[in-house]
Amino acid sequence: MRVDLLTCGWTTHPGAVARRGGGLRSVRFPALVAAVHHPTGVILYDTGYAPRVQRAVGRGVDRVYGGLLPVHVTPQETALAQLAALGVAAVDVTTIVLSHLHADHLGGLHDFPAARIVLDPAAVTAMRTARGLDRLSRGWLPALLPEDVTDRVLDPADLPRADVDLRPVTAHARVLTPEADVAVVPLPGHSDEHLGLLVRTGGTDLLLLGDAVWHTRAVTHGELPHPVVSLITRDWAGYRRTVADLARLHRARPDLVLVPSHDTDAIAAARARLEGDPATIDPGDHP
């Protein structure tokens, strides 16, 4: 089983948004897509940005979203194009696990019409019915949802329990593959439906975190985002609990590679681990 970590577009924030002490200088937040090449088919964790996101944020109230989170992506940077360069067609993608429904994770979903979508169906209903400022405050762009999304959604609660110990983060991981080497992991706080993905390659165990943390140093050094982030976090207390639980898991399982979706150093370190680089540095050691 192979895992490719792709960056499919990016936005910018001041560094302090991701972690306290990060400064006011604008930094890139890459949109991570993980492609798990499994014997049962290709599994994607998130779908990154696509040009349709740029079009969606150019209309109505969604222009506020586009102003706060400028979207940078070319057709060549999409998950669809990067997978094609690796020899993977859209129809080869059998499953997409969406960490949550923000545009940098959802934007490429239309490009994979044959895949089942692992996601809490209640989140889809809530997104489709939200209006105005409520929708804007939750960062939702319903135009990014395919028309048939409801027919393709697989509720993670309907998956079998995984026999894997990720406590204190969760005792309720769910098996996604017959071999039980890929499992979805609830990581609530940033959004109600937020999911991580555990991938056990046989050589390296990855826990893909989505937006459960924005920078590895939140886990390794307790450097939480700026308090202003609490205004756009669904459950700030739950978010802090998840970060604290991830920190305890990291101490208990230092071999487990934690990969936040927007931490450039962590993504690079995880790629090196997957490629067997013995000189890989723990991204938590980076300033």
Domains of the chain, each with CATH number or no CATH: 2-276 (3.60.15.10)
- Give tens-digit pLDDT for 5-50: 999 999 987 777 777 777 777 788 999 999 999 999 999 999 999 9
Checking if the pLDDT of 62 tops 70, the result is yes
Whether residue 113 contacts residue 100, with contact meaning beta carbons closer than 8 Å, is answered with no
Q: What confidence score (pLDDT) does residue 104 get?
A: 96
Write down how long the chain is. Answer: 287
- Give tens-digit pLDDT for 165-184: 898 998 889 999 999 999 99
**How much is the mean pLDDT over the chain?**
90
Least confident of 115-119, 190-194, 219-223, 278-282: 278-282
- Give tens-digit pLDDT for 126-179: 999 988 878 888 889 999 999 999 999 999 999 999 988 898 998 889 999 999
Whether residue 226 contacts residue 273, with contact meaning beta carbons closer than 8 Å, is answered with no
The residue among 77, 75, 63, 81 whose CA lies nearest residue 28 is 77
> Which percentage of the chain shows pLDDT scores above 70?
95
User: What's the maximum distance between 2 C-alpha atoms anywhere in the chain?
Assistant: 50
Q: What confidence score (pLDDT) does residue 279 get?
A: 40
The residues with which 93 forms a beta bridge, in sequence order, are 42
Q: What confidence score (pLDDT) does residue 38 get?
A: 95
Please give the Cα distance from 224 to 216 (Å, whole number). 10
pTM over 0.85: yes
User: End-to-end distance of the chain based on CA atoms, in angstroms?
Assistant: 33
The residues with which 260 forms a beta bridge, in sequence order, are 210
Number of H helices, E strands in the chain: 11, 11
Pairing of strands 257-260, 205-210: parallel
Model confidence band, residue 278 (pLDDT cutoffs 50, 70, 90): very low
- Give tens-digit pLDDT for 94-120: 999 999 999 999 999 999 999 999 999
Tell me the backbone φ, ψ of residue 184, rounded to 5 degrees: -90, 145
Tell me the backbone φ, ψ of residue 151, rounded to 5 degrees: -70, -20
